[in-house]
Structure 1
Amino acid sequence: MSQRTPSTRKSVSQEPVTSVLPDGDIPYDPKHSWNQDEETLAALGYKPEFKREFNLWTTFCVSFAVLGLLPSFASTLYYGMGYAGTAGMTWGWLVAMIGIQSVAASMAELCSSMPTSGGLYYASAVLAPPGWGPLAAWITGWSNWLGQITGAPSVNYGTAAMTLAAASIVNPSFVPQNYQVYLLTVFLMIIHACMASLPTKTIARVNSFGSSFNIVALVVVIILIPAGTNREEQNLPRFAPSREVWGDIYAGTAFPSGVGILMSFIGVIWTMSGYDSPFHLAEECSNAAIASPRAIFLTSAVGGTFGWFLQLVVAYTVVSIPDALESDLGQPFAAYLVQILPQRTVLAVLSLTIIAGFFMGQGCMIAASRVTFAYARDDCFPFSNVWKKVNQRTKTPVNAVWFNTSVGCLMLLLIFGGSLAAGAMFSIGAIAAFVAFTTPIFIRVFFVGNRFRPGPWNLGRASIPIGVVASAFVVLMVPILCLPSVVGADLTEATMNWTCLVYGGPMAMILVWWVVSARKWFKGPKVNVQHMMLGREVAGEDVLVGHEVAEAESQSGLEGKAAEAAKDAESTEVR
C-alpha cells in the first residue's frame, strides 16, 4: 500500500469551506491552534465534539471485538456448515475472503480521505454525481444503520442461545424456551447499553481487554479442539481425510453445489462484518487518517486468517453434520462440540465463546451508537435533536445508545417466530452492511475514477481494480443471500428465507419516504470539500477559503472603521 507522509496534507486554512453550520458557525477558529485531526474534521465540515482517546491499537481492539471471530463463527455455523459442509468451510472461506478483503481495502482508502463518524454515508454524499449526493447518502445511511442496529441483538441472541445450550448439557432435562432466550438477550442488551454510555477512555480500556480476551480465547480453542478430540474413541481417525474435507460438498440446499457454496458465504460475510467500526470511531481516534484505515485493513486481514484456521479445525473434526444441525440443543456449535469432546472440555470451550460473545456484543453497541449519532447530527432521523446530543459528562452519545437498545429489543421479538425468523437478523446484518459498504466504493470506481482525492493511506494504482473486485463480489452476493435453502413443495413459511422481506421491506419504505417527503428537506451530510475531493473547479460566491475567514473578518472591521471615519469626516465638512 502506498502512503504519503502526513506533512503533504493541506491545513484547514487551505481547505475550501463550502457550507456554513447552523447559526453561522463556521468550523474555523483563527484563535485556536488546530492539530492535524481537528484540521481534517473541520475541513470536512464538523466541529470536534469527542475526545480523541483511541489510537491504532484501541481502535483495532473495538473493531476486532465487533468482528468477534469465535462467537460469530459459533452463531453462524448453521449457515457455513449447513449449506455446503466442510468444502464451504475450507476453500469456500478463502474464495469469500478475496471479495471481503477487497471491500475492506477500498473502505480503508475512503476512511483515510474522509475520517468522519458518518463514514460510508458521508463518502457516498461526497462522491456521488452532482445532484445525487443526498439520495446516495440516504440509501447508504439507512442500509448501514439497519446493519448496525441488528449487530448487538444478533450477537447477544447467539450468546444467550449458547448459554442456555450449556445449561442443557449440564442438565439434559432442561429445554430452553423462546421466552427464556428473549429475556436473557434483553438483559445482555441492557448491560451493554450501560457500558456503552461510559466515558471514551473507559470504553477503550474495556474493549482492549475484551479484544485481547477474544484473541486469546480463539487461539486456545483452535489448539484445544484438535488436542482434546475423542474421535478415536468413536473408532474414527483423529482427523477426517483431506479429500473428504476439501472435496465433499454437503447437500444442504436444493440448489446446485456451486450455489450452495455461495450461500454458505453468509457465515463468512456476517462473521467478517465488523471491520467498518474504525471508520465510525474516526472522530475519537488520534492520527485518524492513518490509524483508522490501518485498523480496518488489519481487522479484516487478521480476522480472515484466524477465522480460516478455526474453520479448518472444525472441518477436520466434525463427526456428523446432520446431527449437529438438528440437535435438540438448538445450537449447532454446542452440538458439534458434544460430538468430539468430553463434557468438561465442551463446557470450557462454550464458556470462552460466551465471554467472547459478551465483549463482541458490547463492541457492536458502541459502533452502532456512533452511526446513529452521525446520522442524527445531519437530521436523518425523526427527533434527531435528541439522538445527536453528546453527554457533557461522558462525552459519548448516550441518547443514541439507548435509542438503539430500544429498537434492538423490539427486533428481538422475532425470537418468538422461531429459529429461522430470528436468523433473519443475521441475514439482514450481512446484506445491509454489504450494500452500505459497497455503495460509495461503486460510486468512487465507476463515477469518480481518477478524480478521487486519496488520503495518506491509499491503494495507489491498485485502487480501481480492487474496487471493481469488491463491487462485483457484492453484486453477486446480494441475491444469493436472499435465496431459501429449499424450493418447490418443500418451501413453506417455516423454511422461507425472509431476508428479502425483512430487509427489503424497510428499505422500500425508506425509498418511498424519500420520494414523498425526504427529498424536499434532506440535503445529506454537511459536505464542505466535495469540489476539492473530486478535483472539480470551485465556483460560486458561497465559497470561503479557510485562511480568508480571519482576513475577511479583519478586513471587514477595517473597512467598517474606514467607512465610519469617512462618514464622520463628511459630517464635519458639512458642518
Structure 2
Amino acid sequence: MSVSETGTGQAPRHSSVGEVPVTSVLSYHDAPIFSGEYSADDEALVALGYKPEFKREFSLWTTFCVSFAVLGLLPSFASTLYYGLGYAGTGGMVWGWLIAMVFIQCVAMSMAEICSSMPTSGGLYYASAVLAPPGWGPLASWLTGWSNWLVQVTGAPSVDYALSAMILATASINNPNYTPEAWHTFLLTTLIMILHAFVSSMPTKWIANLNSVGSTFNIIALFIVIIIIPATAMRESLGYPKFTASSEVWGTIYQGTEFPAGISILMSFISVIWTMSGYDAPFHLSEECSNASVAAPRAIVLTSAIGGLFGWFLQLVVAYTVLEDQIDSIIDSDLGQPWAAYLLQVLPVPATNAVLCLTILCAFSMGQGCMVAASRVTFAYSRDGCFPCSWWMARVNKTTKTPVNAVWFNAVIGILLTLLLFGGPAAIGAIFSVGALAGFVAFTIPIFIKTFFVADRFRPGPWNLGRWSRPIGTLGCAFVLLMVPILCLPSVIDGDLTPDLMNWTCLVYGGPMLGAVIWWIVDARKWFKGPKVNIEHLMIGRKAEDVGQIEGHVIEGEKVRAPVIRDDSDFEKEDKLSGSGSGSESDARARD
C-alpha cells in the first residue's frame, strides 16, 4: 500500500482506496485520511467508511473461540434434541446432520468470502447495502439488519432458558420430590441473563480471554462426553445389546410428526441449523480482530467445519446408545429436558450428573458468547440509526471501550422473550426456530445478491473462493429457500393442531419483520439510506476551493451517506472528468 508516513509537523497520510484490499464504499479515487499511526486493519476499516473505535485484541484463535462458544456444540445439541431425535429419530439424526452440513458449509464459505471483502461489525447488514443494485441498498440493508438482529437477540435467552431447564432437571434427578415450575425456570433464566450482561460489559481483552477459556473447556467437555456415554452406557443391563445395530440407526425413521418421513427429516434440520448458527460471530467481531480480512473469514469456516464434524460425532454417539423403543418417554419426560431424560435412561446417575454438569458449564459459556456477539450487532445497527434511541445504544463506554448500553438493551429484550415459557413448550420453542429462520434469512440476503446480481463485479478480499464462488453461493441459497417454509411447519396437522401444538415461529419472527416492513413503507424509507460512514476523506480530482480544512485535515465538505456498487462505466465517466485516463495502475487495481 502506498502511503506517506506521518511525522510531527508533516501532512496527514492518505491512501488510495483502489489499493486497499476491501470493497470500499468510497469512490475508487478517494483518499481516506489517516491522522495517526494506523495499522493495515484500521486503514481497511477507514476505506470501508468507519473510524476505528475498538481495540484490536482478538486474534484468529480468540475470534474462533468466541464463535465456537456461540456455536456451543454440546449445549446446542442438548437444547435441540427434542427436534433432532423427536421429529425423525436416529435415521433423521445421522443422515439429516450430514445432508444439512454440506449446504450449511456452502453458506458459511460464501459468508466468509464477503467478510474478507468487508470486515466490519455491521457484517451482513453492511454487505447487503454495498452489494444491492442501485436504489435497493437501503431496503436490503434494512431487512437484513432486522432479521439478523432477531437471531442475535434471541440467541442468549434461548441458550439461557435451556441452561436453566438443565440445571433444574439435574436438581430433580437428585431430588425426586422436586418438580420444576415455569416460574422457577423464568427466575433462573433472568438471573443468568443478568450475569451474562455483566460479563459482556467488561473490557474487550477480558472478554477475549474469558471466551478463550470457555471455548477450550467446550472442546474438552465435548470429547469427554463423546467418550463417557458409550463407555458407561448400561444398555446391556437393561436387556439391550451394547450398541444399536447400524441397520436400525441408519435405516429407522421415527415418525415424530404427522408428515411423510422425508418432510420429518427436513423438519429435524432445525436442530442442525440452530446449533450451527453461531459461525457469523467473527464477522461482527472483525473491527476488534487483528488481520481481520483473513483471520475473521478463516474463523467462520473453521467454526462451521469443525463444529459440523464434531457435532456429527455426537449425533452418532446418541443414535447408537439411545433405547430406540423408548424415544417417546425421552421426548415427553416429566424432567422437561430431553437431554437429561436421555442421559438418565442410558447412564448411571453419577455419570448422568457428570455429563449434565459439563453441559451446564458449556451452556453458560455459550450464552455469554451469544450476548457478546449480539451487543456488537446492536451497536453497529444503532450507529446507523436503525433503532429508536439509537444514539444511546451506539455509545462506547469510555472505561471498558465496549458497547455497554447495547449489552443491557439486549439483556432486557431477552428477559422479556423468556416470558414465552408461560405459554407452554411450543411457545418457548419458537425462540429456537426463530433463531434458525432469522439467521438463515439474514445470512443469505447478501449472498443471494452477490451470487445473482453482482457476480463478476464483486471485489473479493484476500480470502475468497475464486471460480467456485458462484456455484457454492447457489447451493447455499437453494438450501435456504427450501428450508424457510419447512422451519415454519407444526409437527401435527388437521384436527390435531391446537394452539399449544402450533409452530409459533411465523408469529414470533413474522410479527417483528412485518412491523419493520410497515415502518419502512410509512417512514424509514425517507431517512434510512443504509450504513452511515463516519470518516472524513479527500475526493481526488476536486478543485482546491471545493475542499475545506477541519482540524488540520483535508476533507471533502460532505460525508458519504450511502454505499454504492460501482461498475466499469462509473470508472470511465470519472476518468473523463478527472482527466486521469483509463489505463493507470490504480484503475486496474480498482477494477480487480
Which residues in structure 2 correspond to 1:68-467 (within 5 Å)? 68-319=72-323, 320-467=326-473
Paired residue type of 1:484? P
- 1:570 maps to which residue? none
Aligned residues: 531
CA contact (8 A) 1:107 1:437 kept: yes
SS in 2 for 1:198: coil
Q: Deviations over 1:459-497 (max 9, x none)?
A: 011000000000000000000000000001100001110
Q: Which 5+ residue runs of structure 1 have no aligned equivalent?
A: 1-5, 21-25, 546-575
* CA distance in 1 between partners of 2:287 and 2:572 (Å): 29
Secondary structure of residue in 2 paired with 1:150: helix
1:112–1:458 Cα contact (<8 Å) kept: yes
Q: Does 1:15 align with 2:17?
A: yes
- Local SS of the residue matching 1:29: strand
Q: Measure the CA separation in 2 of the matches of 1:387 and 1:68.
A: 27
1:335-367 CA distance string (max 9 Å, x none): 000110000100000000000000000000000
2:570 is equivalent to residue 537 of structure 1: yes
**CA deviation after TM superposition for structure 1 residue 526, in Å:** 2.6
One-letter code of the match for 1:14? Answer: S
- 2:101 and 2:266 mapped to 1: Cα distance? 12
Task: Answer whether contact 1:453 1:533 (CA < 8 A) is retained.
Answer: no
Sort the Cα spacing of 1:280 and 1:172 in 2 relative to 1 into closer, same or farther, 3 A. same
Q: Return the alpha-carbon distance in structure 1 between the equivalents of residues 509 and 565 of structure 2.
A: 35
Q: Distance in 1 between matches of 2:525 and 2:436?
A: 27
Superimposed CA distance per residue, residues 147-174 of structure 1 (whole angstroms, 9 cap, x where no aligned partner): 0000000000000000000000001111
Q: Report deviation, 1:29.
A: 3.1
Amino acid at match of 2:16: Q
- Aligned with 2:15: secondary structure? helix
Taking a change above 3 Å as real, the CA distance of residues 456 and 534 of structure 1, as seen in their structure-2 partners, is: farther
Matched with 2:531 is 525
SS at match of 1:245: helix
Answer whether contact 1:88 1:264 (CA < 8 A) is retained. yes
Deviations 1:232-267 (A, max 9, x none): 001100100000000000000111000000000000
- Superposition pairs of residues 549-560 of structure 1, within 5 angstroms: none
2:14/2:33 contact within 8 Å kept: no
Give identity over the alignment, percent: 66
How many Å separate the matches in 1 of 2:490 and 2:272?
17
Question: Is this contact kept in 1: 2:70–2:367, CA < 8 A?
Answer: yes
CA–CA distance in 2 between the matches of 1:334 and 1:236?
Answer: 20
What is the Cα deviation at residue 420 of structure 1? 1.0
1:362-398, CA deviations, whole angstroms, 9 ceiling, x for partnerless residues? Answer: 0000000000000000111111110000011111000
TM-score normalised per structure 2: 0.87
Work out whether residues 19 and 526 of structure 1, in 8 Å CA contact, stay in contact via their aligned partners in 2.
Answer: no
Give 2:458's aligned amino acid: F
Amino acid at match of 2:277: S
Matched residues in 2 for 1:67 and 1:172: separation?
A: 32
Name the SS for the 2:501 alignment partner: coil
SS of alignment partner, residue 90 of structure 1: helix
**Cα distance, 1:33 vs structure 2:** 3.1
CA displacement at 1:536 relative to structure 2 = 5.8
Go from structure 1 to structure 2 and tell me whether the alpha carbon gap of 1:368 and 1:388 turns closer, same or farther (over 3 Å shift). Answer: same
In 2: Cα distance, 1:186 partner to 1:279 partner:
28
1:506 equivalent to 2:512? Answer: yes
Gap change, CA 1:498 and 1:532, over 3 Å in 2: closer
Structure 2 letter corresponding to 1:63: S
Measure, in 2, the Cα distance between the counterparts of 1:212 and 1:536: 51
> Structure 1 residues 263 and 423, CA, compared in 2 at 3 Å: closer, same or farther?
same
Q: Deviations over 1:439-461 (max 9, x none)?
A: 00000001011110000000011
Residue type of the alignment partner of 1:446:
F
| 1:76-118 per-position Cα deviation (integer Å, ceiling 9, x unaligned) | 0000001100011101110000110000000000000000000
Structure-2 change in CA distance of 1:202 and 1:334 (3 Å): same
Change beyond 3 A, Cα 1:115–1:507: same
Offset from partner CA, 1:489-523 (integer Å, 9 cap, x none): 10000111010111111111110000000000001
The 1:372/1:446 distance shift into structure 2, 3 A limit, reads same
2:63 is equivalent to residue 59 of structure 1: yes
Structure 2: stretches of 5+ with no match in the other structure: 3-12, 19-23, 534-559, 579-592
Give yes or no for the alignment of 1:491 onto 2:497: yes
Larger RCO (CA under 8 A, 6+ residues apart): 1
Residue type of the alignment partner of 2:345: Q
